[in-house]
């Protein structure tokens, strides 16, 4: 099959599926990678994800009339250039009716409800990103509710807060049976061993000039990923391993902690991409 035939087949497959374009406004690279991994691996909805790290960049993207339209916005309220509900308000002033799902750092129901009152479709805490169905369904419901309101050209008679509480309860009920048990809980001994292996890998990455192409690093990374796939580990498990190993690696290294964190970002993104490929190839 030639390149043109491949391109034609990919286009045809995309037409069969509903592809949503998501703008993820998030400055934390690990959280951005986690959300992308969960949504890419959800097997139900299909997303083309754009990530920006600043409110200014989000405003520029939404104001670009020549760029493809955005179907839904996943918005971190704590950005380097804007904090709290002011971040949401700035987005709502520009998004022309695009549904917004906000992210809170903690289980802050008050902030989430205030965001919905201010115009967001829904809210999630970052801890809820690890629940695959919850994130996917929250975004899907936000898109559908927004489309329904535009089609009807009127607001629902149900108060916004009451509607959102009912929808969140339904989503969580639907997702409960499919909730993935974290590897740390399901297999603590294996998690601890993989965390140690990841720490060795991380130290090797920091100490080598060979980068990520060296055989030693490749073998070490692939061994960890193979075990994750065997256990049906999620992108959240990989992020969890990374966080534990990074914390241990920088303990007592105050002078070089910033450099370690910087190099570790490339490592976790590289491994996230490899994990996605492994699941695709073994499907």
- For the chain, give every domain's residue range: 3-176, 183-282
Q: Would the CATH topology of 3-176 be identical to that of 183-282?
A: no
Query: Whole-angstrom Cα distance, residue 190 to residue 269?
Result: 22
The 10s digit of each residue's pLDDT in 69-118 is 899 999 999 899 998 899 999 999 886 679 999 988 765 678 888 888 88
Task: Specify whether the CB–CB gap between 222 and 266 falls below 8 A.
Answer: no
- For the domain made up of 3-176, give the CATH fold: Rossmann fold (3.40.50)
Largest separation between any pair of C-alpha atoms in the chain: 62
At residue 277, does pLDDT exceed 80?
Answer: no
Does this model's pTM top 0.85? My answer is: no
C-alpha distances out from residue 258 to 20, 210, 261, 266, Å: 36, 20, 5, 14
Domain 183-282 is in which class? mainly alpha
* Between 26 and 253, the higher pLDDT residue: 26
* Between 4 and 32, the higher pLDDT residue: 32
């Amino acid at each position: 099959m030639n390149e043109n035939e491949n391109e034609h087949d990919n286009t045809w497959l995309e037409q069969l599926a509903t592809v949503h374009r998501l703008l993820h406004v998030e400055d934390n690279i690990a959280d951005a990678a986690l959300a992308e991994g969960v949504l890419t691996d959800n097997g139900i909805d299909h997303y083309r994800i754009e990530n920006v790290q600043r409110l200014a960049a989000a405003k520029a993207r939404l104001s670009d009339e020549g760029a493809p339209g955005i179907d839904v916005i996943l918005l971190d309220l704590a950005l380097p250039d804007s904090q709290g509900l002011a971040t949401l308000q700035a987005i709502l002033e520009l998004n022309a009716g695009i549904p917004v799902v906000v992210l809170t750092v903690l289980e802050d129901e008050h902030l989430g409800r205030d965001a919905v009152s201010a115009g967001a479709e829904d809210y999630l805490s970052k801890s809820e990103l690890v629940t695959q169905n919850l994130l996917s369904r929250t975004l899907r419901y936000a898109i559908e509710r927004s489309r329904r309101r535009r089609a009807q050209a009127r607001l629902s008679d149900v108060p916004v807060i009451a509607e959102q509480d009912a929808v969140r309860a339904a989503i969580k009920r639907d997702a409960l049976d499919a909730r993935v048990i974290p590897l740390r809980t399901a297999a603590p001994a294996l998690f601890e061993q993989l965390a140690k292996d990841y720490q060795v890998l991380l130290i090797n990455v920091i100490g080598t000039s060979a980068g990520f192409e060296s055989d030693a690093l490749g073998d070490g990374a692939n061994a960890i990923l193979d075990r994750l796939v065997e256990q049906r580990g999620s992108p959240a498990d990989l992020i969890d391993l990374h966080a534990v190993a990074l914390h241990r690696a920088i303990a007592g290294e105050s002078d070089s902690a910033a450099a370690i964190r910087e190099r570790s970002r490339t490592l976790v993104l590289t491994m996230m991409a490899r994990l996605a490929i492994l699941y695709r190839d073994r499907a």
